Structure 1
Amino acid sequence: MAEAHQAVAFQFTITPEGIDLQLSHQALNQIFLSGVRSWKKRVSRMRNRVIKGVYPASPSSWLFVVIAILATMYMRSDPSMGLIKMIQEHKTSFPHMDCTQGQTMLSALVFSTLLWLSLILALRFCLKLLLSYHQWMFEQHGRVSNTTKVWVTLLRLLSSRKPLLYSYQTSLPHLPVPPIKDTVSRYLTSARPLLTDPEFERMTKLAGQFEANLGNRLQRYLRLKALWATNYVSDWWEEYIYLRGRGPIMVNSNYYGMVTSRLPLNVTAWTNATKTNILHLFYLHVRLGQSRVPGTVIPLCAAQCERMFNTTRTPGVETDVLQHWQDSEFVAVYHRGRFFRLWVYLAGRLLSPRELEHQIQRILDDPSPPQPGEEKLGALTAGERVPWFQMRERHFSSGINKRSLDCIERAAFFVTLDDEEQGMRGEDPAGNLDRYAKSLLHGKCYDRWFDKSFSIVIYKNGKSGLNAEHSWADAPTVAHLWEYTLATDAFQLGYTEDGHCKGDVDRSLPPPQRLAWDIPSEAQASSSLVVAQALADDVDCHVFPFRDFGKGRIKKLRVSPDAFIQIGLQLAYFRDRGGFCLTYEASMTRLFREGRTETVRSCSNESSAFVRALETKEAVDQCRHLFRLASERHQNLYRMAMTGAGIDRHLFCLYVVSKYLGVDSPFLKEVLSEPWRLSTSQTPVQQMELFDLKNHPDFISLGGGFGPVADDGYGVSYIIVGEDMINFHVSSKHSCSETDSHRFGVQISKALQDIMNLLADPKSQTTSKCQQAQPQSKKQL
């Protein structure tokens, strides 16, 4: 059994003379220091609330207004045009003040405060109007209109003060509800390349009937919600797309992120430096996130950052619940089948990286074996949600199991000290990278806690990565944290020559606490592990760096890198499967308050026309022309999605309203049931100011990936690394005979090369299509 480590503040014994009270001064001192830190945090939060609450004004501006009003009154002038005197006449407001001069001063103070608050509201209104302007996104690079120039000037003027993380929240516009006519029209346009003429004619008729009858009724309810709610999409999206899913969230929902390809100098196997610097930096990011926001002219909604730490998804019968706690001073650590609570704060101060390294070494040196059922306990979070809920209610709702489970769920985040080695180096770098991805996506199915907001995985050879739960936020929020951690670790914290963290160690630190369990045999023989292992074994992951060229060469062609890659994916899929499919590309809507994502339907009439022209060996000039049209169309679709004019979130919300009203729509039912056989996402590099991207490209994350959305489809994630490399993550299922992640990876590389060859040489006399024999599938070898 695990030992219980407790700090006893006082003891007492009963003697013949009475009660002998013995106080522990050290323990009381720790309690005092902890209380001091708690009050400091409260004061800091209150200060931050005031600063962001009055933004874009400042608290000091109130004093300026008061002094200005008093100064004008001293000069025998009434700036309030009688309002101060009117306030003064209401003597009932100041019953204990008889002095006329004092009442005048107090009336001026009240007026100044009201005037200051009115100015703040006016500034916020102006800021919201400015942030509602999105035409700048649709202007060509280098051709900025005068309207946009004036808009940028005004926005910078109102945002001249350095904002905090949540300063812009109340000034962000609400996501607009598109006209139903526009959404239906855009849907039919997006569906055209995927349907035959009879199918398209039938769908057009269904859409017309929906728009003319039920659609307008559902739209009225949706507009009413948009007037009342902060965002008409996000709460339903979180509940129905994520929390109501009853299947495993491992692979199906959670996603992973990789670390860079370079390790810190002189860090060898089982050296704890990389582990502890990461833990230390995550807690620094907590502090940073409460007080600062990266400098940008265009603010993004920060609502997703609120639940980054101290958050857990807990299972239910019909729906899961996201639980978030205000603070947590510890992390939960898993190592060789044992769970530990590792305190990151001591006496109100954050432990140094060297002290955390010392504490982790204690965990590594702990020889105690796992308790019965402890080693594979995490599999409960990897399987179906209802069995996990039932097991939780029966065996983890009281006693020692509940206390230990609370330690995991209330932790800031989860850490796995993996006893395997991962990375892309060695005798088989390509295969190692694929195994690295699979390990981060699902591991052994029981050595991650998939319910936590995110879990850090640190391997025996110092490589690391993370696995993130999806319902609380989208990947860019986690990527922002990951970028900050990796860059600060490499360029600011650093390591000693012998590969340890810098700093001193307080040898009196209490050891990490083993969590105790009393797990019955029924909970140990869980079916969740069987379900999870079958799901994990079915995932086919392939990660590969495309090094032939990157965004530098693409941008020289005056083409959007994202559009270039997305059209390349359409070409690759056509060659792989012999046709087109409904394609999902994630786009953010964080220009709006509480915005999350929108879908860009990358398979368009223009992209399919280009692919067909290329594959049928049409003239080079015609292929180039069609590619330019496809690229411009894709960029326009992306901009429309970001500015609230997308298709899928609007149709999704209309469908939810129809379910609440108990009415069926054949049109909505068919649209919402269409499979996304190609699901794609770009991992953006957001904080380029952290380090020199050109001279240190190896310090960028290799991006991350996710499981396939459809059983017979592909999941593709990519990150543009520097100027000369694009890293791809491809996933599919072994159980589908028509898909193969490695084969599709080859097709992606070839498609990008063929498009570049087409665009790069205007005088080329060769045909636009330069096909080779189709690569053999690894399933056929």
Structure 2
Amino acid sequence: MAEAHQAVAFQFTVTPEGIDLQLSHQALTEIYRSGLRSWKKRIIRLKNSVITGVYPASPSSWLFVVIAILATMYTRSDPSMGLIAKIQEHLPVSQSMSSQCQTVVSAVLFSTLLWLLLIFTMRLCLKQLLSYHRWIFEQHGKMSTTTKVWVALVRIFSGRKPLLYSYQGSLPNLPVPAIKDTLKRYLESVRPLMDDTQYERMTKLAGEFESRLGNRLQWYLKLKSLWASNYVSDWWEEYVYLRGRSPIMVNSNYYGMDFLYVTPTPIQAARAGNTIHAMFLYRRKLNREELKPSRIPGTVIPLCAAQCERMFNTTRTPGEETDTVQHWQDSDYVAVYHRGRYFRLRAYQAGRLLSPREIEFQIQRILDDPSAPCAGEAKLGALTAGDRIPWAQARSKYFSSGLNKRSLDCIEKAAFFVTLDDDVQGMMEYDPAGTLDRYAKCLLHGKCYDRWFDKSFSVVIFKNGKNGINAEHSWADAPVIAHLWEYVVATDCFQLGYNSEGHCKGDVDPSLAEPQKLTWKIPPECEERISQSLAVAQALADDIDFHVISFRDFGKGKIKKCRVSPDAFIQVALQLAYFRNRKTFCLTYEASMTRLFREGRTETVRSCTNESSAFVKALVGGESADVCRRLFRAASDTHQNLYRMAMTGAGIDRHLFCLYVVSQYLGVESPFLKEVLSEPWRLSTSQTSIQQVELFDLVNHPEYISCGGGFGPVADDGYGVSYYIVGDSLINFHISCKHSCPDTDAHKFGTQITKALHDLLDLMSPGQKEPSKTEEGRPELKKNL
């Protein structure tokens, strides 16, 4: 194989005439350029570490402080109040230097210490400023004087041109809420779900827990919060994600979609070329910390960027008791799956990133490759889709050495995974709703063996040029992947583009080595394991009922005119839809981020409240419009307050979860915590918002809108609902449930959501009802389907 020959830099043979040494100039050049690229990355990392380490000051400020101190000394004044003289007395090399040189060295040392002290003080001040959260509870458009002063101080102490990780050392630690407050809020959250007898029993359990075991467990949590950067995140990753032994496909992984109306090119290889190239451009920006730090929209408040560190070159490795997340510093290739074969596709040649046209050329080589899969290779990926223990056992027994280990290492150490899918997906004009449902379901689980679900993320390129992404959940949450995906699809269309024939732009280097086909030696026993995992995964995939709604009747524009938060409006609509669908209320999960704190991830907003249930009962019961409007306002305000509390570290569920973990470490049982942690989330919801609005000009290009993404149901008898608010006039809903539950139906629930949205808008803005356009295609956009 060509790539095997080029991997040999030199050969030598011993002959009667001596040693015959043969050097490969091309291979040595490749080694030199690859090494040069590696050293450049190390230097960039070192430089960024220095810049981030001294932030909010800059390295050049050290020189300013040194010059200022030396200047004051020459004016016969001593700004150090005698410290420079003390340093001079204790210089270890004072005997070998002149008196003037000793003074200068001592002044430089004092200046450096003073500079470090100033940096520490500035960082401490910024950390204290970022611990102020009253601003988030203030009424929109009415900023208090205190908050105005605070904003000004944050701007002053934030420095200029921060790198991606510049704020990490200044972010506050997540506080541990008072146990009394958490229990009070918990009891309020379950009141609408229990009758008087059940509620009285739960109140008694909570009281006994607080008076007996709670304070002891709380003490351990406070101790951890003083020691660790975040008292929740490591346990959350370990016990919620990595210790789960059921399939991560559907149960944990989630997906993101392509543009809803536009397919930039129908050529599969071309779309792959631009997509892969854009991914590596993003990784380059990530490694150089050139991405702007994420902030709360419309504010100067930074969000934690720690989750970005493991985005690329990362995989989840199965274990019998717990999985682990492995991350490598660098990888210059991607792993590609096509028709049962796995390939290694190098993205760099002679130290440079391949152009989109060159990657397209390499992808086309894979598509045209007629070779058959090795025995057992075609459905190998099913191991990552089934239960974790059989996968861990198979990995240890069949993939721990030799050829199989080398091929598996190639997949796991790749920058990311790429699937070249033979299916045609996307919203089609002949059946917009049905084809969108199939598209979402395909991205969630595919054929159960044509994705590598353990990789940090897998990019899927379909035969007709549509694409999508499937992400593993343990290493990061959806907003992090959404940030990457926004950049990729925008760069693909608006910066890289395609020529008139639909191919990527640029030229091809004819010396490119062919992609390397991975080879395997899989015994029959392992093939049996693969078949068993596939059966488990296939049964799970077949049970998933999925429905995607592209709701175009109205969006956040009209909702805001009602002076209501769009998120609160949708959450109350979901409560109304669920009650109409199931004739009862349920424990509702809405994901909120805690990235205002260092290493923060998520918190739960319990959206089913006393206020929302009172409103739903009033509306369904036929109360007057005035009464319903008043109750709706109360429900909306309560939800907004709960969301803000979750964001600022005053949530319920992560605190209770950590108390439970401590109880398990101590070997003590708590009937209260055991019951709380076993309660099913029958309605699990999440909003994905557009973060990089500067990348999308939706006014001039309204067709370039994404459909968002979704996830599987959390409970066997519940729904998973993801929604994506796009612009002022579009909301996309991704609804999942299970066919095996007779009480759930994704399409019926979708119909109830649509009706609830219209009913709420009619209630809050009477006389403005419009005909439904949700199930109709927009005429001006149909040509792009």
Give the aligned partner of residue 454 of structure 2. Answer: 451
Contact between 1:97 and 1:103, CA under 8 Å: does it hold in 2?
no
Q: How high is the TM-score relative to the length of structure 1? A: 0.96
1:98 positional shift = 2.6
Question: Which amino acid counterpart does residue 259 of structure 1 have in structure 2?
Answer: D
Cα distance in 2 for residues equivalent to 1:140 and 1:321: 44
Measured at CA, do residues 368 and 2 of structure 1 come closer, stay the same or move farther in structure 2, by a change above 3 Å?
Answer: farther
Tell me: CA distance 1:96–1:411, structure 2 relative to 1, closer, same or farther (3 Å).
farther
Write out per-residue CA displacement over residues 459-490 of structure 1, whole angstroms, 9 at most, x where no aligned residue.
Answer: 00000101100000000000000011111111
Selected match of 2:292 from 294, 307, 311: 294
Q: What is the deviation of 1:293?
A: 3.5
For residues 705 and 222 of structure 1, do their structure 2 counterparts lie closer, same or farther at Cα, with a shift above 3 Å needed?
same
Q: Identify which of 497, 503, 507 aligns with 2:500.
A: 497
Aligned partners of 2:684 and 2:713 also within 8 Å: yes
**Deviation sequence 1:376-432 (CA, Å, 0-9, x none):** 000000000000011111110000000000000000100000001000114111110
**Secondary structure, in 3 states, of the residue corresponding to 1:544?**
strand
Q: Which residue of 2 aligns with 1:284?
A: 281
Q: Which amino acid aligns with 2:48?
A: N
Question: 239-248 or 273-282, which moves further after superposition?
Answer: 273-282
1:294 shift after superposition: 2.6
Deviations, residues 300-334 of structure 1 (Å, cap 9, x unaligned): 00010000001100110110010000100000000
Equivalent position to 1:598, from 576, 597, 603: 603
Q: Which of 627, 644, 647 is the aligned partner of 2:632?
A: 627
Give the Å deviation of 1:95: 4.8
Name the structure 2 match of 1:252: 251
SS in 1 for 2:639: helix
- The secondary structure found in structure 2 opposite 1:657 is helix
Q: 1:30 deviation in Å?
A: 1.3
Q: Distance in 2 between matches of 1:293 and 1:447?
A: 32
Counterpart contact for 1:263–1:462, Cα < 8 Å: no
Q: Does the CA contact (< 8 Å) of 2:2 and 2:514 recur in 1?
A: no
Would you say 1:511 and 2:509 are equivalent positions? no
Mapping of residues 215-230 of structure 1, within 5 Å: 215-230=214-229
Correspondence for 2:266 among 241, 265, 268: 268
Corresponding residue for 1:322?
325
Report the residue type matching 1:268 in the other structure: P
Shift of 1:763: 11
Q: Distance in 1 between matches of 2:258 and 2:331?
A: 25
Q: What residue in structure 2 maps to residue 662 of structure 1?
A: 667
Distance, in Å, in 2 between the alignment partners of 1:148 and 1:3 is 61
**Does 2:70 align with 1:73?**
no
Matches of 1:699 and 1:298, distance apart in 2 = 29
* Pairwise CA distance, 1:263: 3.4
- 8 Å CA contact 1:264, 1:490 repeated in 2: no
Quote the offset at 1:524 in angstroms. 1.2
Which residue of structure 2 aligns with residue 377 of structure 1? 380
Which deviations, in whole Å up to 9, do the C-alpha atoms of 1:564-590 show, x marking residues without a partner? 000000000000000100000000000
Alignment-mate amino acid for residue 433 of structure 2: A
| 1:35 alignment partner AA | G
Residue 712 of structure 1, aligned match among 710, 713, 717? 717
For 1:49, the aligned partner's letter is S
Q: Name the amino acid aligned to 1:366.
A: D
**Other-structure match for 2:540:** 535
Which deviates the most, 334-343 or 498-507?
A: 498-507
User: In the alignment, residue 76 of structure 1 is paired with which amino acid?
Assistant: R
TM alignment of 1:4-15, pairs within 5 A: 4=4, 6-15=6-15
Provide the rounded CA distance (Å) in 2 between the counterparts of 1:244 and 1:6: 43
- Write the letter of the residue equivalent to 1:185: K
Contact 1:2–1:516 under 8 Å retained in 2:
no
1:273 Cα deviation (Å)?
A: 1.8
| 1:645 and 2:644 matched | no
Moved more, 323-332 or 20-29: 20-29
Preserved contact between residue 732 and residue 739 of structure 1 (Cα < 8 Å): yes
Question: What letter matches 2:110 in structure 1?
Answer: F
Tell me what 2:308 maps to. Answer: 305
SS in 1 for 2:96: coil
Q: Compute the displacement of 1:7 (Å).
A: 1.8
1:767 corresponding residue in structure 2:
none
Q: Please report how far the alpha carbon of residue 8 of structure 1 lies from its aligned counterpart in structure 2 after TM superposition.
A: 1.3
Deviation of residue 2 (structure 1)?
12
Q: Which residue of 2 aligns with 1:418?
A: 421
Match in the other structure for 1:171: 170
Q: Deviations over 1:339-379 (max 9, x none)?
A: 00000011111111111111111111111011110100000
Q: Distance in 2 between matches of 1:233 and 1:709?
A: 21
Is the 8 Å Cα contact of residues 267 and 503 (structure 2) preserved in structure 1?
A: no
Q: For 1:247-304, what per-residue CA distance to the aligned partner results, in whole angstroms no more than 9, with x for missing partners?
A: 1000000011101124355x2243x221111101111111112322436411000010
Q: SS of the residue aligned with 2:589?
A: strand
State the 1:13 CA deviation.
1.8
In structure 2, what is the equivalent of residue 187 of structure 1?
186
3-state DSSP class of the match of 2:38? helix
| 2:428 partner amino acid | R
SS of the residue corresponding to residue 143 of structure 2 reads coil
Aligned residue among 365, 390, 406 for 1:387 = 390
Residue 769 of structure 1 corresponds to which residue in structure 2? Answer: none
Alpha-carbon contact 2:361-2:508 (below 8 Å) kept: yes
For residues 278 and 152 of structure 1, what CA distance do their matches in structure 2 show?
A: 39
Q: Corresponding residue for 1:16?
A: 16
Shift in Å, 1:5: 5.7
Distance 1:667 1:344 in 2: 54
Structure 1 residue 52 and structure 2 residue 52: aligned?
yes
Q: Which amino acid aligns with 1:327?
A: D
Q: Does structure 1 conserve the Cα–Cα contact (< 8 Å) formed by 2:593 and 2:603?
A: yes
Structure 1: how far apart are the matches of 2:357 and 2:222? 55
2:357 aligned counterpart, secondary structure: helix
TM-score, normalised by the number of residues in structure 2: 0.96
Gaps of 5+ in 1: 765-781
Figure out how many residues of one structure are paired with residues of the other and give that number: 761
| Change in CA separation of 1:637 and 1:8 when aligned onto 2, cut-off 3 Å | same
Corresponding residue to 2:582 among 574, 577, 598: 577
Report how far residue 4 of structure 1 moved: 5.0
**Is the contact made by 1:5 and 1:513 (CA closer than 8 Å) also made in structure 2?**
no
2:159 and 2:226 map into 1 onto residues whose CA distance is: 30
Could you tell me whether the CA contact under 8 Å between 2:762 and 2:768 is conserved in 1?
no
Of residues 545, 549, 554, the one that matches 1:549 is: 554
2:565 maps to 1:560:
yes
- 1:731 aligns with 736
| Alignment match, 2:160 | 161
Q: In 1, Cα distance between the equivalents of 2:248 and 2:116?
A: 46
- Partner SS, residue 142 of structure 2: coil
Q: Which runs of structure 2 are paired with 1:135-150 in the superposition (5 Å)?
A: 135-150=134-149
Q: CA deviation at 1:660?
A: 0.7
- Superposed CA deviations along residues 189-215 of structure 1, whole A, max 9, x for unmatched, are 001000000100111111011111100
Q: Deviations over 1:79-105 (max 9, x none)?
A: 1111101100113x2256331111111
Letter in 1 for 2:292: P
Q: State the Cα distance separating 1:762 from its structure 2 match.
A: 7.7
CA distance in 1: counterparts of 2:340 and 2:574, whole angstroms: 41
> Within the alignment, does 1:523 sit opposite 2:526 as a pair?
yes
Is contact 2:555-2:728 (8 Å) kept?
A: yes
| Distance in 1 between residues matched to 2:266 and 2:90, nearest whole Å | 76
Aligned to 1:351: 354
Residues 333 and 348, structure 2, Cα contact 8 Å, conserved in 1 = yes
Once residues 62 and 97 of structure 1 are traced to their aligned partners in structure 2, the CA distance between those partners, rounded to angstroms, is 26
Aligned identity (percent) is: 73
Q: Is the 8 A contact 2:6 2:27 kept in 1?
A: no
* C-alpha contact (below 8 Å) 1:163/1:292 kept by paired residues: no
State the AA in 2 paired with 1:386: I
2:40 corresponds in structure 1 to: 40
Cα distance in 2 for partners of 1:558, 1:5 equals 68
Quickly say closer, same or farther: Cα 1:34–1:96, change in 2 above 3 A.
farther
Give distance in 1, aligned partners of 2:27 and 2:314. Answer: 30
Measure, in 2, the Cα distance between the counterparts of 1:321 and 1:299. 29
Amino acid at match of 2:227: W
